[in-house]
Amino acid sequence: MCLKYSVNMIILCLFALGTALSAPSDEFRSLVHEGELEISDDAYIKYIIPSGYSPHKFQKQHKLFLEDFVNKDNEYYNIFIQHVEAGHTMKGLTFNIYDDNMREATIALFRLLQYSEEDKIDSIIEWASQTINSDMLNYALILASLFRVDVIKEVEPPFITKPYYFVNSETIRKAFKLKVNNGKFNPQEAQVQQFYRTNDLISINTNYSSWNLWNNECKDNLDYFREDIGLNSYYFGVHILYPFWMNNEELTGIDPKYAEKYYFIHQQLMARYNLEKEHLKYLNISDQSKCYDDFIPYLSYENGLSFPIRSNIRREWSDDYARIKSVDIAIKECITRGVIFMDNGTKIYLTEDNFVDLLAKLIRANFEGIQTAKILRSLFGYGGDGYPSDRYNPAPSVLHHPQTALHDPIYWNMIQSFLKYFDEFSKTLEPYNFSKYQSGEFNIIDSTFTKITTYYEFYQFNIGKIFNSDNYDLRSSSLTYAARQKRLKHTPFSFSFKIQAKFNKTSLIKLYLGPQCNDVNCFDKFSRFFELDSFTYELDEGLNIVRWSPESTTKFSFDDLFNLELKSVRKNKYCLYKFPENMIIPKGLEQGLNLTLFILVTPIDENSDFDNLSNPLGFPFHRKSSINNFTDFNNYKFYNITIYHKENSKHANGYFSSHLN
C-alpha cells in the first residue's frame, strides 16, 4: 500500500533527506547496522569537559533563579528544568539540535521566551547566559526573534557568533597562540604560517578544507562555494525559518505555503550549485570526479575535538538501511499511483496544483521525522560504521549542524535525491502550456548589460568569539583577530530593458540566470535556471526603461559590513534569511563563460497580493513546458550573456590555494 501520513505528524525538516539512497551507488557504498535506538539521559554528564574547567563557573554576578521569572506550573518550565537538572544543558557540552535531550530542552526554552511577559524576558536571558549552554541559548533566541522583537536587537551572522563552524582549525589554533602571546610573534614564523599585523588587527590567512592534500581524481575545486561563510550562514537561517521539529499545523499557521517555499529553496540551491560547475566544462574537468568518497572538514570544536572525517560509505544491509529504503520505496509507490493515503483512510490524489506541497510534506514527515533524521545523519555524516544515533557525541558530523552541512559534497547528493521525487512525479504530467503566458501587451524591444566579472575577494572577519571565556584576561585586549579568506565576488553590474506597453498595467517581471542554451532548448533545461529576482512593476503606456541591479532589490543579503578588509563606511544590509548577494553570479572564465539570461514580463491583476499570485514558485521554470510559437511574442527573451573572471596570481600578504586565483 502507498505510504500514509498524518497532517499532525508532518515534521518540516532541516532536511537531510535520506533520499540519499537514490544517489549514485558509488556515492553511497554501504550502511552499517546501528542496533536498536535508545535514549540515555545520563549520556551527557560524563563526556569531554576540559580538565580543570567547571562548566558552571561564571563571572561574579548576583545569583538568579529561573523560578523567579517563570510560573512553576508552566508546562515548558517543567520540561526545561528537568533537562537542566539532568545535565543536558551544561556549559561545555557540544550542542546538537538532533540530540533528543538537547532538542527538547532548546524547544522548551524557546517556548518560554516566545510566551513570556515582556518584563521577564531580560531576566530569563540573563539567567540562561549564566547557567546553560550558550549555543542552546543562541538557537532559542534567534528562533524566538521571529515571533517577538524584544529578545534580540540584531541577529549577527553565524560566522561572527560561531567562528568554529566556519574557520579551519589551524586558524583557530594560530589565533589562540597569538592571543596567549599578546599578539607578539616571530616574523619568520608569521611568514610561513601566514599571519600578519596591521595596527591593532591581526589577520590570519585561511584556506578551505583539504587545501594541503593532493587528489588526482578530484579536480572540481568547488570548496570556495560549498564552504562559503555567507552561504552556510544562510542555510542556518533556512533551518530557523523551517525547523524540522516544528509540526505541520504550526508551520501552516505561520505560512500556508511553507512546504512549497522549502522545496523551492532547495531546488534553487541545486540550480545555483550546478551553475557553479559550468566553468569546469571549459577546463575539461568532470563534475563527476571522485571528490565525494571521503571528506575531511578541517573544523574543530571548542572542546578540542575535530569534526569527524566522513569516509567511504559501505552499503551493507542493516535495520537502519532497511528503514530508509522502505520509506524510499513507499514514496515512489505513491508517485507511481498518484495518490497518498491519510491515516483516516482518505485518499488525496496528487495533481499539477498540489503535488509540490503534498510531496514536500510527505517527504519531510517520513525522512525528517526525528528518528529517521538522526539515522540519516549517523549513516551519511560519519561514513564507515557511522555512530549510534541515540548517544551524545562530543564531536558530531558536519551534517548535524545546518551551519556546516553544505560543506560535505554528500549533502548536495542528498538534496538532489530529495528533488528527484518531485521530478519523477512531474514527468507523469503533461507539459504545461506556456503559450497562454505569451502576451502582446508588452514588447521587450532592447536591452543593455554592463560587463560582469567575477574575482576572489579578500574577506577578513572578526573571530574574537572563540575567546569567550569566564577568564576576563583572555577576552580583554585591544587587538582584533581576524580570519582572512578569499571569497567569490563579482563586480557591480546592471541590466536595462526597454519595454513597450500598450496600456498602463501592473506587470510581473522575472529574471533568471541559466546555462548556455537557445530558445528552442532552454525550456528543456528548466531545472538549471537560478532566479535572480521576481518583482512587480508599474508599466506606463508607451516606452518604459526598467533597470535592475543586485543593489536595487531586497531579495539578497549583503555581508560586506563585516569585512574588515574594507575601509569605507557601509550600511548594514545583512539578513540571515536571504541568499548571499556575493554568490548570485557563478565563477566566470578569463576568456568568458557563456550563460543565458531570461526575462519574462506578464500582466497581473492590480488587486492581487504579490505573495499569493497563482503562479507556482519558480515559474516559468517550475516544470517542463510546451510552447507552440516562439517567434510571434516578445514579452519574454533569452539573452546570451558572458561572465568573465579576473585572475590574480599575486596574493597580497600571503598565498592561498592555487585555484583561488
Q: Could you tell me if 331 and 423 are in contact, meaning their C-beta atoms sit under 8 angstroms apart? A: no
- In sequence order, what are the beta bridge partners of 645? 454
Q: Which of 90, 162, 132, 207 is nearest to 466 (CA)?
A: 162
Q: Which helix (H) or strand (E) holds 234?
A: helix 229-241
Mean pLDDT of 162-172: 97
Segments of 237-381 assigned E as strands: 314, 339-342, 347-349
Note the Cα 214 to chain centre separation in Å: 28
Q: Could you tell me if 415 and 17 are in contact, meaning their C-beta atoms sit under 8 angstroms apart? A: yes
Flag whether 584 is in a domain: yes
pLDDT score at 330: 92
pLDDT score at 56: 46
What phi and psi, each to the nearest 5 degrees, are found at residue 179?
Answer: -65, -45
Q: Which amino acid makes up residue 223?
A: D
Which residues make Cβ contacts (< 8 Å) with residue 108, sequence separation at least 6? 76, 77, 79, 80, 83
Flag whether 632 is in a domain: yes
Segments of 350-494 assigned E as strands: 432-433, 442-449, 452-462, 480-490
Helices (H), 93-211: 100-115, 121-131, 134-144, 158-161, 169-180, 187-193
Flag whether 569 is in a domain: yes
The model's confidence at residue 358, banded by pLDDT at 50, 70 and 90, is very high
Complete edge-to-edge strand list for the sheet that includes strand 495-501: 442-449, 495-501, 542-548
Flag whether 383 is in a domain: no
pLDDT score at 610: 54
Residue range(s) defining the domain that contains residue 598: 433-460+485-660
Q: Comparing 188 with 286, which gets the higher pLDDT?
A: 188
- DSSP, collapsed to helix, strand or coil, labels residue 203 as strand
pLDDT tens per residue across span 22-63: 443 343 333 333 333 333 444 433 344 444 444 444 445 578
The model's confidence at residue 568, banded by pLDDT at 50, 70 and 90, is confident
Flag whether 100 is in a domain: no
If one counts the domains in the chain, the total is 1
Highest mean pLDDT among 11-15, 151-155, 235-239: 235-239
pLDDT score at 1: 42
Flag whether 455 is in a domain: yes
Flag whether 248 is in a domain: no
pLDDT score at 343: 73
Q: Could you tell me if 118 and 90 are in contact, meaning their C-beta atoms sit under 8 angstroms apart? A: no
pLDDT tens per residue across span 208-232: 998 887 666 666 789 999 999 999 9
Which domain CATH number covers 552? 2.60.40.1520
Choice among 152-161, 343-352, 645-654 with the minimum mean pLDDT: 645-654
Flag whether 478 is in a domain: no
Which residues make Cβ contacts (< 8 Å) with residue 177, sequence separation at least 6? none
pLDDT at residue 606 above 90? no
Per the confidence metrics, is the pTM higher than 0.85?
A: yes
pLDDT at residue 315 above 80? no
User: Percent of the chain having pLDDT more than 90?
Assistant: 69
Which residues make Cβ contacts (< 8 Å) with residue 636, sequence separation at least 6? 437, 438, 444, 598, 599, 600, 601, 620
Largest CA distance in the chain: 78
Q: Are strands 505-515 and 593-603 parallel, antiparallel or unpaired?
A: antiparallel
- Nearest-angstrom CA–CA distance, 489 and 491: 7
Which residues make Cβ contacts (< 8 Å) with residue 250, sequence separation at least 6? none
pLDDT at residue 81 above 50? yes
Choice among 120-124, 144-148, 318-322, 499-503 with the minimum mean pLDDT: 318-322
